[in-house]
Structure 1
Amino acid sequence: MRGVLVFWPSTGGNARSFRIRDSELETLGLRLIRFNPPSHGNSEGIYDPNSAIQLLDGYLKERGYLNKDLYGIGHSGGGAALMMYANQIPFRHLFLLSPILDSVLSLRFLYESNSIEEFSRLLLLPGVSEMVTPNKQILETLSTPQWLEDGKIQHLTVSIKNSRIQMLDLSLFLKNLFLPGFVVDGSLIQKQTKYTIFLPKEDRWFPKDYTENFAKQNGLDCMEIPDAPDHFFSSSWLTVWKQIKTIGL
């Protein structure tokens, strides 16, 4: 084994939803690490990017993987987390699918584009009416960006588990990611690491022009995947994976 490929999914996502054959990587001398931080996949707990980075770092150190070539694939918030981790431990190459470079900007962009409901509905309890607490409170609180200003989310201390996301405490999840939030800036870019950013045809979760300018200013490769219709690269992962293999691992 010459190296390790770490896959970090979008915030609340599941690394196993992206199909990668272990046998395919074995021929390249790589071991695949499907990293589901707390509250991702079947991992329980409360998600915080910084503590999740520490968990991943401890896992890689324990197995001696930091002495190998490191590669990473990160989607959305997972892409931003890998960029922050690469500031501590250099990767040979990071492949980033619509990385959230500024978590608060992402939320404000959802409000400005009238797409915030797409975010808030990911956080609802299944089988519960939208007119009943806590779903009613969630939709009402997140319907405007006021909570980003006053931080009043203590009433959302509820456990959420549905087909898309799970968390022990919704208020802590929102606090850890958006109050005050995180920013990936040029100071985190490492010369030892090569970066390739993939963007979809349309993205309602983060402004593409911001990412394109960030890539240009920092000398990062950035390409659009025309087959990808949205931020989640729906039905287009295999196209992205083909590009990654073409670029080379």
Structure 2
Amino acid sequence: MSLEIIESGASPEKARGILVIWPSTGGNARSFRIRDSELETLGLRLIRFNPPSHGNSKGIYDPKAAILLLDDYLKERGYTNKELYGIGHSGGGAALMMYANLVPFQKLFLLSPILDSVLSLRFLYESGSIEEFSRLLLLPGSSDEEKPNKQILETLSNPQWLEDGNVSHLNVPIQNSRIRLDDLSLFLKNLFLPGFVVDTSVIQKRTNYTIFLPKVDKWFPKEYTISFAKENGLNCIEIPEAPDHFFSSSWLMIWKQIKKIGF
């Protein structure tokens, strides 16, 4: 397994803090653009973490295993001895929240964190948006009537697989512009059977949390996130200019808000 982790910003010696970016499931940490000059001014070293099957990282994605990979990487370099900050999007936000249960992050900035992976899938079914998820997992250059795309679309068209766990027939590699998977069936099993939940037990008093929400989110119920934030005393900011779960064309606005809150 080759792991892509990109470092930039202040040098390891001069950095007072470490900023970890964990992208959305299937996303790429490279897409978060931050100038080196800004990072140096802030005294931060940036760690763009692409867990297995993200960016140019190979392997099978499993959030719990990925947390241990990141932990090993940071500890080997002595980075956990510095102030830790994190930016996580979607499933990456949930993973960072779970990781902050193990190491002392100062602040976490979370873009639409998936607080319950199975709830996220059920919400996609209920809102009639499941095809948006399914089409992220298709093989390019193959029609909807050809294998494996036909099997993927048919299996995911209804939530029965969440009940019976019957996805072993989808043991195919998938690579497209959005996601790279060595085995689609293992990806589905690792994330959704039985899935993961970020609950109150994960929240740490030592960490300051800020959640950013878009105007519309088809991938996770905003009401659930807002209620969770209120119950646990977390900051929650809606970005009206952000049109969707992926915060399309809104990153610079988010980064501006993050800098305003401060490191």
Coarse TM-score class (shorter-chain normalised) = over 0.9
Alignment of 1:165 with 2:187, yes or no, is no
Q: Displacement of 1:23 after TM fit?
A: 2.2
Q: Displacement of 1:78 after TM fit?
A: 0.1
Q: Displacement of 1:24 after TM fit?
A: 1.0
Give the 3-state SS of the residue equivalent to 2:42 in structure 1. Answer: coil
Alignment of 1:137 with 2:159, yes or no, is no
Alignment of 1:109 with 2:118, yes or no, is no
1:222 to 236, 244, 248: 236
Give the 3-state SS of the residue equivalent to 1:27 in structure 2. Answer: helix
Moved over 2 A (4+): none
- Aligned position for 2:66: 52
Structure 2 distance, partners of 1:50, 1:151, is 20
Alignment of 1:153 with 2:167, yes or no, is yes
Structure 1 distance, partners of 2:73, 2:62, is 17
Q: Counterparts in 2 of 1:1-249, with a 5 A limit?
A: 1-249=15-263
* AA matched with 1:98: S
Structure 2 distance, partners of 1:145, 1:136, is 16
Report the count of equivalent residues. 249
Q: Cα deviation per residue 1:74-130 (whole Å; 9 max; x = unaligned)?
A: 000000000000000010000000000000000000000000000000000000011
Q: Displacement of 1:22 after TM fit?
A: 2.2
Q: Cα deviation per residue 1:134-170 (whole Å; 9 max; x = unaligned)?
A: 0000000000000000000010000000000001000
State the TM-score, normalizing by the size of structure 2: 0.94
Structure 1 distance, partners of 2:68, 2:172, is 26
Give the 3-state SS of the residue equivalent to 1:92 in structure 2. Answer: strand
Percent sequence identity over aligned pairs: 81
Structure 2 distance, partners of 1:174, 1:115, is 17
* AA matched with 1:64: G
Q: Cα deviation per residue 1:11-41 (whole Å; 9 max; x = unaligned)?
A: 0100001111122111111000000000000
* AA matched with 2:25: T
Which runs of 5 or more structure 1 residues have no equivalent in the other structure?
none
State the TM-score, normalizing by the size of structure 1: 0.99
Structure 2 distance, partners of 1:179, 1:77, is 15
Which runs of 5 or more structure 2 residues have no equivalent in the other structure?
1-14
Structure 1 distance, partners of 2:116, 2:253, is 26
* AA matched with 1:56: L
* AA matched with 1:32: L
Structure 2 distance, partners of 1:23, 1:50, is 33
Structure 1 distance, partners of 2:188, 2:80, is 31
Q: Cα deviation per residue 1:199-233 (whole Å; 9 max; x = unaligned)?
A: 00000000000000000000000010011000000
